[in-house]
Amino acid sequence: MTGKNSPTILKSIFKKILNPKQSEPLAVGLPESHRLYCVGDIHGRLDLLHDIHRKIATDALEFDGVKLVVYLGDYVDRGPHSKQVIDCLVENDFPDFETVFLLGNHEQVLLRFLSGKDASIAHDWFRFGGLSTLASYGVSVRGIPTSKDLERLRAEFKEKLPATHLQFLERLVSHYELGGYFFVHAGVRPKIKLHRQRLEDLLWIREEFLNSDFFHGKVIVHGHSVTEQPEVHHNRIGLDTGAYSSGILTCAVFEELTCRFL
Ligand SMILES: [Mn+2]
């Protein structure tokens, strides 16, 4: 890890894949004149999202090329302002950027709760932060809900969830690729081709991915697993710095072969 504003040169990461003996050279870094901002797990912290948006806007001011923002998912739960975070993302502070919104496991569970198909999911969701999300939408939550409260909560949530929010949630994508990078919420299962991954792994995987030295063909940029500082490894870059409790929302900036942090 280098100082705050000095870019980490990712040449060492890409050394292996820059090997000219490769019959089909793999993409490395980002295409020229592209700059990509990648934002970690927000979890209902509107204050931190506003801060990071201000930093991105300032940083991008002088840049003329193609600008992108990729959000790694887990917009809702735990923090107090899930609804307001989605509002902010739907309104889009960056009309001259391409924006990519990835699906996080927390959004997946929220959508499952809404669908009503899987009754057992509700209590899991409430346990890992769903009650804060319901409260942010003005759903009346009194204590820990029991099974007989579920239908009422689901109906009230459906009624209070704006159509634009439902559309936003339903359009979240499982992954995004550009140049030598593969962006995904949690990670990938080693030794399975990137296009044959299961959605459950992309959204939930931890140890098997985090502990693996396997090079997946692209550098995996992910959130989901909290670390004190962003982590740059040869095969993956982790950006979840636990914003909800740490107050630190990480944004990485990718350009050609470099990566730096705002
Ligand atoms: Mn997650």
Cα distance between residue 30 and residue 259, in whole Å? 10
Q: Is pLDDT of 188 > 60?
A: yes
Q: Is 32 within the bounds of a domain?
A: no
**Is the CB of residue 45 less than 8 Å from the CB of residue 14?**
no
Ligand 1 centroid to residue 160 C-alpha, Å: 24
∠ Cα 134 140 141 (to 5°): 70
Ligand 1 centroid to residue 92 C-alpha, Å: 22
Q: What is the mean pLDDT of the segment spanning 5-34? A: 64
* Confidence (pLDDT) at 15: 55
Ligand 1 centroid to residue 108 C-alpha, Å: 10
pTM for this predicted structure: 0.90
**Percent of residues, the chain, with pLDDT higher than 70:** 90
| Strand partners for 93 | none
**pLDDT by residue (tens digit) across 134-147?**
999 999 888 788 77
**pLDDT by residue (tens digit) across 50-87?**
999 999 999 999 999 999 999 999 999 999 999 999 99
Q: Is 10 within the bounds of a domain?
A: no
Q: Given phi > 0 = left and psi -120 to 50 = alpha, else beta, which region is 126?
A: alpha
Q: Is pLDDT of 23 > 50?
A: no
Q: Is 27 within the bounds of a domain?
A: no
Q: Is 56 within the bounds of a domain?
A: yes
Ligand 1 centroid to residue 240 C-alpha, Å: 9
**pLDDT by residue (tens digit) across 113-134?**
999 887 788 988 998 899 999 9
- 187: containing domain: 39-220+231-261
The domain tally of the chain equals 1
Ligand 1 centroid to residue 106 C-alpha, Å: 6
Q: Is 8 within the bounds of a domain?
A: no
Q: Is 105 within the bounds of a domain?
A: yes
Q: Is pLDDT of 2 > 60?
A: no
What's the CATH code of the domain at 214?
3.60.21.10
Ligand 1 centroid to residue 61 C-alpha, Å: 31
Ligand 1 centroid to residue 139 C-alpha, Å: 23
Q: Is 59 within the bounds of a domain?
A: yes
Q: Is 236 within the bounds of a domain?
A: yes
Question: Going by C-beta distance under 8 Å and a sequence separation of 6 or more, which residues neighbour residue 209?
Answer: 186, 187, 188, 189, 190, 201, 220, 222, 236
Ligand 1 centroid to residue 159 C-alpha, Å: 26
**Percent of residues, the chain, with pLDDT higher than 90:** 79
Ligand 1 centroid to residue 75 C-alpha, Å: 9
Cα distance between residue 165 and residue 175, in whole Å? 20
Ligand 1 centroid to residue 76 C-alpha, Å: 10
